[in-house]
Amino acid sequence: MKLKKIHVVISTIILLFLNSCTSWSVTYTGDYCEDGIQDRTETDLDCGGLYCDPCEEGYACEDNSDCSSEYCENSVCETEEYDASTADSDGDGVVDASDICEGDDDTIDVDEDDIADCVDDSVSNNSYVGGSTGIMAEFVDFNLNEEGYNDVVEDEVFPVHFILENTGEYTVTTEQINMEIRGISESDFSGLDFEKTNSEELTSISAEASNFDSEEVDFGDAIYEGLTGTFYDARIYLEYDYPYQTQIIIPKVCLKYDLRSESGCEVSEAKTAYVSGAPIQIGTITEEPYGTGSVYLEIPIYNAGGSSNLGYYVGRAKAYESDAFSALHDTVIFSVEGEEIGWSCYYLEGSDSPIIYIGREEGDQATLTCISDTFEEGTERTEELKITLDYYYQETVSAEVRISAATS
């Protein structure tokens, strides 16, 4: 009888103890909650989980019960309601609302192309479409034969129209394109306007809108008078000029005080450059040290507007509208814009003139030299440099019209 009672008492005690252990709300702050090791069910070092005290702000959590604030957001204890526009859960300096790397560091950019490696490290930051042309003109054919002539009979009216297209990356506004019909005599043709300007703005092409903005210019309906013989091949030239601009961006000029350092950017090397679509273009840009705490760039500039079979360029450039176009050289005006460091640039050393002279023989280049201001000891960074070339550009196109005698 006594054994039975003892058994009942022991069973009751065991049941009471087991019942008390099934309550998961009990917090146990044993030695392992203060051992400097994240173990057992802890969500962070010595806090959170089933048995340790809740964690403070900034510590890791799995649910609200792991936080003293009773607020767990993105596995981190927060003190107030989560706001994606200000929160930076992964601590990479980019707020969650703009975070494109989903927990990775958005600022990692190994090849320095200004694009986070976690997204697409192969994409260039070049915003220009590129190309080596500006305003292009073309005669509008009206009765083209197999030999490439437009046929017309004497005393018959024929249209003289040209299409203008802006194929580059600079907008030309109304009345800026000066056009003149040449190659034929005004006394031989009636009904023509020999001089015109554009009446529409021709906007720049872009990566978003790569179609060419165009205008058809009507010079009138011509009649040839005084035909002698069986036919006359009239070569009609359109000579036109317009203001244009070339934009150059050198995104990463290396400003490095300690040239012995093997870390960071390289000074003595060819530089990546981006250039807008225009007839004046650039060659390979190089950078070199210029004493202590300074660097210089050499920028080759040339006329890419097409060459004739005689070995010289057809398109011509001049710096100012009041200048005459030269058969010996092209001229352009340069301006420079840095970020923090100042720059001194010249075409002729010792000259402060903003004009660059480019030879007109095929293969000719001019070199613009840019020297940085002195930067502080310990400097090691890259900086963007922008160069703008302004000029007036002249081109000539032609078409042939065969005027035949009328048959009886």
Q: CA–CA separation, 315 vs 133, rounded Å?
A: 10
Q: CA–CA separation, 373 vs 343, rounded Å?
A: 6
> Which residues are CB-contacts of 170 (< 8 A; sequence separation ≥ 6)?
134, 204, 244, 245, 246, 247, 276, 278
Amino acid at 12: T
Q: For position 50, what pLDDT does the model report?
A: 87
Sign of CA dihedral 329, 303, 274, 278: positive
Q: CA–CA separation, 206 vs 208, rounded Å?
A: 5
Q: CA–CA separation, 172 vs 137, rounded Å?
A: 14
The full DSSP string for 1-34 is -HHHHHHHHHHHHHHHHHHHHT-TT-----GGGG
Q: Which of 134, 124, 127, 125 is nearest to 277 (CA)?
A: 134
> Which residues are CB-contacts of 332 (< 8 A; sequence separation ≥ 6)?
246, 280, 301, 317, 319, 355, 356, 358, 389, 390, 391
> Which residues are CB-contacts of 65 (< 8 A; sequence separation ≥ 6)?
54
**For the chain, percent of residues with pLDDT exceeding 70:** 80
> Which residues are CB-contacts of 379 (< 8 A; sequence separation ≥ 6)?
255, 256, 257, 293
| Residue that wins the pLDDT comparison between 345 and 99 | 345
**For the chain, percent of residues with pLDDT exceeding 90:** 59
Q: For position 27, what pLDDT does the model report?
A: 44
Residue 65 gets which letter from DSSP? G
Residue 309: pLDDT above 70?
Answer: no
Residue 327: pLDDT above 70?
Answer: yes
pLDDT digits (tens, 9 = 90+) for 78-100: 876 667 777 776 666 677 666 66
Residue 334: pLDDT above 80?
Answer: yes
128 and 233 in contact (C-beta within 8 Å)? Answer: no
Neighbours of 110 (CB within 10 A): 7
| Residue that wins the pLDDT comparison between 50 and 89 | 50
pLDDT digits (tens, 9 = 90+) for 6-23: 444 445 454 444 444 443
Residue 294: pLDDT above 70?
Answer: yes
Of 5-9, 164-168, 329-333, the one with minimum mean pLDDT is 5-9
Chain centroid, CA 45 distance in Å = 47
> Which token pair is 75?
């596995």
Sign of CA dihedral 385, 270, 371, 133: negative
Per DSSP, what are the bridge partners of residue 387?
248, 336
Q: Which of 42-51, 80-89, 144-153, 247-256 has the highest mean pLDDT?
A: 247-256
> Which token pair is 260?
């012995």
Q: What is the mean pLDDT of the chain?
A: 84
203 and 213 in contact (C-beta within 8 Å)? Answer: yes
202 and 165 in contact (C-beta within 8 Å)? Answer: yes
334 and 310 in contact (C-beta within 8 Å)? Answer: no
